[in-house]
Amino acid sequence: MKSLTRYINKILPAIMWVAIATLTSCHEPPYEELTPRTVLVYMVSHNNLNSYSISDIGEMQQAAMSGHLGPSRLIVYRHPYGADPSLYEILPDGTTSLLKTYDESRPSISSLRLEEVIADTKAIAPAENYGLIFWGHGTGYVQNGITPLSYGGETINGSTYWMNVTDMADALGTGQFDWIYFDCCFMGGVEVAYELRHAADYIIASATELPAEGMPYQLTLRHLMPANSDLQAATQSTFDYFNGYTGAKRTCTMSLIRTDALDDLASAVRHVVTNTAGLPEGYSVQPFQTPDDHLRYGWSYYDLSHYASALLPEYDVLTQAIDRAVPLRFATPKLWNITPLTNHCGLSTLIIEKADDPDLDKYNYRQLAWWNDVVSYRFKNADSL
């Protein structure tokens, strides 16, 4: 999840949101024809990230006033503290236009609410192309079981709620968006990408934890808003922003994932796990979290290539499949200036080496398509399956 304890780089004053509210009007913006692109920012901010949502909206307004929206439209769904969830547009002059107010009968992490917001966005802001930004906490492959996590972290009446990535895939369907950007931690896992491979052509995500401030919208929207989004530039802009810091603030991984290559990647990894024994004794796979975070949360994320290559070294099919699936990947030298990022193929994974691994039940890992299509083949002949 986005870090709230490390190196808060920016929180715009709360007065900014007052200004936003003051500038908000309740009229339909004067658009009649299809625009080149509509980008929906889906903000799960009714939690301890609320103040960061305010500063990120300020960055979006800054991008708008700098002319970075062009003829495209930027739509934001947000449920702030002390107010109903709402859908509004950030206009080219930086002001906002309220489009719809929702009741709280459905939480923002409900797949039904996500479907509703997407349908409203497409009806209100029809476009030739659509992009989707998920904003909030993220934990990747973790499904509801003992620990109900994956995306969101919405706090309602003292309880915190999450959306499973399998539910997200059901809500998104097939081909509604040409790209999805995860402004969340840990969503650059092969399990997530594979689950969503039919939902978009490309996914931009991080395999590791991100600083709480997340995407620098004032820098990236110029690349995301055009009809032909420059996803490589958007990916690099986010990375360069954090890579420009020093010390522990210099922490970031970013990947551009091509979803039409994930079936071939699944085939290559399935071959590896089916035809090899376990990891060599004493082999340490590249972790994508600090030791303290591993102890605190219990979740494990490892570099997919470093793991698979340990099982079957010099398997060119795997190398080629990863390179095609992740055409662009970046990593700072260390994570939080603690964990060296020596190996970073752009995708993380959970390592399952035993058929009775407790993580299978703890995280409901068997719900995932990656388990069914890839990992389970390692144990097809096991009596326990």
Domains delineated in the chain: 15-261 (3.40.50.11970), 263-312+345-379 (no CATH)
Predicted confidence at residue 13, as pLDDT, reads: 36
Predicted confidence at residue 60, as pLDDT, reads: 98
The per-residue pLDDT for range 63-107, each reduced to its tens digit, is 999 999 999 999 999 988 778 899 999 999 999 999 999 998 888
Q: How far is CA 317 from CA 120, 254, 258, 268, 320, in A?
A: 43, 23, 17, 6, 5
Where does the pLDDT of residue 248 fall: very low under 50, low under 70, confident under 90, or very high at 90 and above?
very high
H-run or E-run covering 86: strand 86-90
By percentage, how much of the chain surpasses pLDDT 90? 69
- What is the residue-wise DSSP string for 225-262? SSSS--HHHHHHHHHHHHHTS-GGG---EEEEEEGGGH
User: Quick check: 10 pLDDT over 50?
Assistant: no
Tokens of 373: 């299509």
- Tell me what the mean pLDDT of segment 327-335 comes to: 98
Which of 10-24, 41-55, 116-130 has the highest average model confidence (pLDDT)? Answer: 116-130
Predicted confidence at residue 143, as pLDDT, reads: 76
Predicted confidence at residue 359, as pLDDT, reads: 87
Which of 247, 158, 235, 162 minimizes the C-alpha distance to 202? 235
User: Quick check: 208 pLDDT over 80?
Assistant: yes
User: Quick check: 27 pLDDT over 60?
Assistant: no
Helices then strands (H, E): number in the chain? 13, 16
Predicted confidence at residue 14, as pLDDT, reads: 36
User: Quick check: 39 pLDDT over 50?
Assistant: yes
Look up the pTM and report it.
0.90
Predicted confidence at residue 153, as pLDDT, reads: 65
Predicted confidence at residue 142, as pLDDT, reads: 85
The per-residue pLDDT for range 333-380, each reduced to its tens digit, is 999 999 999 999 999 999 999 999 988 988 889 999 999 999 999 998
